[in-house]
Amino acid sequence: MDAKLDLAIREVVIANRILANENIVDASGHVSARHPLHPDRFLISWSRSPEHVTREDIMECALDGTPLHGDARPPYKERFIHGAIYETRPEVNAVVHAHPEEVLPFSVTDEPLRALISSASMLGRRVPVWDIADAFGNDTSLLVENIEQGRDLARSLGHGNLILMAAHGLAAACPTMIEVVRISVYAARNARVQMAAMQFGKKIRFLSEGEVNVRGAGGYFAADSHGIYRAWEHWALRAGCADLLPKRDDATMRTL
């Protein structure tokens, strides 16, 4: 198998396991990667719960959500979230759809989720909320069931990397798998801290525009830096799937 494809599949599996182990996904939720050789396809498990996904479960889909190569295993109902985002955002290579409890209160009120802890700076100054009812009415299943609904969500996401879906969950989209897992994990943590801080009824120090920008400018915070890789490796070790990590020789690691 092509080495880039092999790595992309491993990363999809590792991300599934990490997000399950860190309580970001449960029976539901999914992770995908853009196909590294065919940018008009994405890699995603067939409809399995993320905790149990293995390499063999990964299928290929076209951006309109059609499973390729005659794969007859049932796909995730909401695979259109992934396809529509990849279609719109050429720089995005990894997408997560999840339903962490902690962010849901911010999806059903007009109280915005905002970065207030340093590790969640990727959330930025205000996470937008997409309500399927706005464009599709009050009689939907709340699920993103077709590519039109996926495209409407992608439009609301715009150039951002995170959007809440009202009464439902979140969609995250980043250039790399490490980043998309990172923002998913820290979105839940930021939500917990924000809810606790709000109960004091006092002025809250949210991250400044400058703090968000400095941390978003790469360098130490880039997805390929050692500091960021450290968290990825840590989560994989905890999830029991570190054997899927590519070997890194010490020399490489040390220069990151």
Catalytic residues: 78
Answer for the pair 149, 82: CB distance below 8 angstroms, yes or no.
no
223 is a site residue for its own copies (CB under 8 A):
no
The answer to whether residue 69 forms part of the interface with its own copies (CB under 8 A) is no
Taking the least distance from each CB to its own copies, the nearer of 155 and 220 is: 220
Q: Does 134 bind its own copies (CB under 8 A)?
A: no
| Out of 52, 55, 126, 155, the residue judged to bind its own copies by CB under 8 A | 52
Tokens representing residue 9 in the block: 């599949």
- The residue with tokens 């802890």 is 117
- How many residues touch its own copies under the rule CB under 8 A: the total is 76
Contacts of 106 (CB under 8 A, 6+ apart): 112, 113, 127, 129, 164, 191
243 binds its own copies (CB under 8 A): no
Q: Is 133 in the site for its own copies (CB under 8 A)?
A: yes
Using alpha carbons, select from 88, 85, 98, 76 the residue that is nearest to residue 145: 76
Tokens found for residue 37? 């050789």
Burial class of residue 43 in the structure, from the number of CB atoms within 10 Å of its CB (0-12 exposed, 13-18 middle, 19+ buried): buried
By CB under 8 A, the residues from 152 to 191 that bind its own copies are 166-169, 189
77 binds its own copies (CB under 8 A): yes
The least CB distance from residue 123 to its own copies, in Å, is 12
Structure tokens at 118: 């340093």
126 near its own copies, judged by CB under 8 A: no
| Nearest-angstrom CA–CA distance, 149 and 185 | 25
Written as one string, the DSSP assignment of 10-35 is HHHHHHHHHHHHTTS-SSS-EEEEE-
Q: Which of 70/246 has CB closer to its own copies?
A: 70
101 binds its own copies (CB under 8 A): yes
Instruction: Tell which one of 60, 131, 146, 175 touches its own copies (CB under 8 A).
Output: 131
148 forms part of the interface with its own copies (CB under 8 A): no
